[in-house]
Amino acid sequence: MNLKPEERQKLLRIDHELPCSFFWRPAKEVAPDLIGCRFVKRKHDGELLWGVIVETEAYCQSEPACHGFHRRSTSNETLFGTPGHLYVYQTYGIYYCVNVVTDKPNWASGVLIRSLALPDEAEKIASGPGLFAKRFGLNRSHDNLALTSKNNLWLAPKSLASDQRTIVKTTRIGISKGQALNYRWYLKESRSISKRAKGDRCPKKSDSWQPSIGISHE
């Protein structure tokens, strides 16, 4: 997204939201742009729970790994809906996977949020779709929910601290079709990635990046 300097400074705070136009783009454009953005939940007591997105995957109706590739159904209807809404489904009857709908209505397109890094918490607390959903208390009841502070769930722009990091582009995980597509992105300096690309070693703790509470006010 190309923003004027004054617009960018305004958006850096965690209480500001990504504009709706951010999501009205193909998943393969939105997915890498979400790396470094912050997923925020306002809890019942008003406290903000947040983490930095460090790993994403893109899915599109034109490729076989997408839930909407074969047909539109009641179970994947949300994926064909309005960009900027959550598409939440259950896998293996246990874990929830949280996606952000992208591109345009009536076209299945979305970004799976794979991993987050949370300030002052264990590195792997939200490493992988199931752990992310569990940490933020997300389930099927959040399906088709618009990402907005009015719903107590939103996406805040990247912080200055994560904006200049290295993003790795590689293949997706846990799929049987479309395996050759490089539709997964992750923050190289993070130790919270669910699975690194072949040959990419996890950085030493001293060389890694982890968010801190102060990032929310940059």
What does the DSSP 8-state code read for residue 44? T
CATH dotted code for 5-217? 3.10.300.10
Tokens describing residue 85: 């809404």
Task: List the one residue out of 141, 178, 160, 138 whose CA is nearest residue 57.
Answer: 178
Alpha helices in 88-208 (DSSP H): 129-136, 160-163
Q: Per-domain residue ranges for the chain?
A: 5-217
pLDDT tens string, the chain, 218 residues long: the values are 444 555 444 445 788 899 999 999 999 999 999 999 999 999 999 999 999 999 999 999 999 999 999 999 999 999 999 999 999 999 988 999 999 999 999 999 999 999 999 999 999 999 999 999 999 999 999 999 999 999 999 999 987 666 668 999 999 999 999 999 999 999 999 999 999 999 999 999 999 999 987 644 44
| 96: helix, strand or coil | strand
- The reported pTM is 0.91
Dump pLDDT digits (tens) for 87-131: 999 998 899 999 999 999 999 999 999 999 999 999 999 999 999
